Amino acid sequence: MSLKVVVDWDLCQDHGQCAFAAPEVFEIGEDGRMHVLIEEPDESLRSKVEDAADVCPVQAIRLEG
Amino acid sequence: MAQRVLVVGAGMAGLRSAEGLRAHGYADEILVVGDESWAPYNRPPLSKEALHGDLSHDRLVFRVRANASDVTWRHGVSATSADLAARTVTLSDGETVSYDALVAATGVSARRLQVPGPPQTAAGRRHVIRTLDDAIGLRAALVPGAKVVVLGAGFIGCEVAATAVKLGCEVRCVAIDPYPMVRPLGPELAAELQRRHEEQGVVFHLGVGVAELVGDHHVTDVVLTDGTRLETDVVLEALGSHCNSGWLEGNDLDLADGVRTDTALRPWRESGMLDGVAVAGDIARFPNLRFDERPLRVEHWSIPTDTGRRAGAVLAAYLSGEGYDDVVAASWEPLPSFWSDQFDIRLQSYGMPGLADPDGIRVLEGDLHDECVVGYHRGEELVGVVGVGMLRVVNTYRDKVGHPTPTS
């Protein structure tokens, strides 16, 4: 089963900490908003995406699979 | 024989320690005990959006990594004492638990006002805000028109003041300091933030203390040391914290302010570092060579995660006996980080602004009266940055804070 990144956009406040933990998967765009670059990242990125979920101040990121 | 790790403290640091142990290959028993009735949850929203929105545990609870799904949790139980030589901890229910390795992650409690007065309870209209239960009690009291007196003008006090105004309360904020949040932020930014709070209706009484809390069953008035009398329906004591380290007494540790450790988070003793024990979260007083060798406690939101992971790595290596010396000696220099929301102001801090020289604080970008990034310097070194808004810009300073040891 592949990984899936799920963001609760009601919670996300664009803190951007995820983009430091997993820059391959998350970025803060020129508009100041957070964007998911890869919704179904490779297994090799699991640890980084878990780290990104951990450091999200509002705990808006969930990893499925 | 199967090993057991006992984690004392079921907050964020306890959770991250358990996950860290699993991430580093420890596969035997992990038992986490904590005095609250709740599974670990995120505390910052308690004084911010959750206080005027959804204060349900479901909304705040941390997701537990799959690797830690087999951890045993015992909520509603605290540690009363420890015998680190015998490797046992005695719990509030009378049981004595033995362990092969121990994580001390008992955090801090809200400091109470040391002035006689009505009971220190919600019924006495005296609140603190540290736990979800505290927040639920405070929320019920923050009804429109309520006269709220916030004692203390640190981040928590200012966040609650802002939230209470949004909820329609009349808010006064009392502190001995000359400006709100002045100790970490410095006078210029603090004065600017005071102005913004006042614009929104918060009334400050600064440079004064509390002389008396008036009332029999509950507080009716707060009398200040300058004689001012403030009628009140709700008092919030936001006066900082004290460490929950009493259960570790009698083990020759340095408990002067939290628990002093080395960079492997092992407790410091006169006779040397104590292996098999790690301290995580708010009570860890550790040296961070990104700044200097002086052990400091850091109550920033990022620290429970950083220390928990480090504790997990150190104890997993200790228990397996593989590569322990290398793990202990590895460089570990976390970048402290926290944020604060007050009205429409988003503050984002990296590093240790409180380490700055008094004359080392200056605006690096933007305008102090609008959005800006403020730099905190010790000598020539940037030891902290705080963004007022300008999130993208302040984030570019992350790597410039302190003097991290280069990794080869």
Q: What is the 3-state secondary structure (H, E, C) of B229-269?
A: EEECCEEEECCCEEECCHHHCCCCECCCCCEEECCCCCECE
For position B283, what pLDDT does the model report?
Answer: 98
Rounded average pLDDT over B156-171: 97
The domain made up of B126-239 has a fold known as FAD/NAD(P)-binding domain (3.50.50)
Is residue B248 within 8 Å of B259, Cβ to Cβ? yes
Interface residues from chain A to B (CB-CB < 8 Å): 13-17, 20, 28, 32, 47, 50, 53-55, 57-59, 62
CATH topology of domain B4-109+242-329: FAD/NAD(P)-binding domain (3.50.50)
* Number of other CB atoms surrounding residue B137 within 10 Å: 16
- Indicate the residue of A13, A28, A50 with minimum beta-carbon distance to B65: A50
Q: Burial of B329 by CB count in 10 Å (0-12 exposed, 13-18 middle, 19+ buried)?
A: exposed
Amino acid at A45: L
More confident residue, B7 or B404: B7
Under DSSP, is residue B208 helix (H, G, I), strand (E, B) or coil? coil
Q: Tell me, what's the pLDDT at A31?
A: 86
Please report how the helices A46-55 and B302-320 are oriented relative to each other, as an axis angle in degrees rounded to 10: 140
- Please name every residue paired with A26 in a beta bridge, in sequence order, or none if there are none: A36
Domains of chain A (ranges plus CATH)? 4-64 (3.30.70.20)
Give me the torsion for CA of B157, B159, B298, B207, rounded to 10°: -40
pLDDT digits (tens, 9 = 90+) for B175-211: 999 999 999 999 999 999 999 999 999 999 999 999 9
Q: Which residue ranges does chain B devote to CATH 3.30.390.30?
A: 344-400
Alpha carbon of residue B257 to chain centroid: 14
pLDDT band at residue B109 under the 50/70/90 scheme: very high
**Contact assessment for residue A44 and residue A7, using Cβ atoms and an 8 Å cutoff:** no
Q: A24 to chain B, minimum CA–CA distance in Å? A: 17
B344-400: in CATH 3.30.390.30 = yes
Q: What percent of chain B has pLDDT over 90?
A: 95
Which two tokens mark B99? Answer: 């362990």
What does the pLDDT look like over B6-39, one tens digit per residue? 999 999 999 999 999 999 999 999 999 999 999 9
Average pLDDT value for residue range B283-308: 97
pLDDT value, residue A32: 85
| Cβ neighbours for B299, distance < 8 A, ≥ 6 positions apart | B108, B241, B282
Residue B255 near residue B249, CB atoms below 8 Å: yes
Could you give the 3-state DSSP secondary structure of residue B19?
Answer: helix
All CATH 3.50.50.60 domain ranges in chain B, comma separated: 4-109+242-329, 126-239
> Which residues in chain A land under pLDDT 70?
1
Give residue B406's pLDDT.
Answer: 75
Q: How far apart are CA B157 and CA A63, in angstroms?
A: 34
Interface test with A, best of B48, B56, B63 (most A CBs within 10 A): B63
d(CA B402, CA B378): 10
pLDDT, position A1: 57
- Provide the pLDDT confidence category of residue B407 given band limits of 50, 70 and 90: low
- The pLDDT tens digits of the residues spanning B223-262 come to 999 999 999 999 999 999 999 999 999 999 999 999 999 9
**Which residue in chain A is spatially nearest to B45 when comparing CA positions?**
A58
Quote the ipTM score: 0.93
Instruction: Give the number of C-alpha atoms closer than 13 A to the C-alpha of residue B301, restricted to the C-beta side.
Output: 21
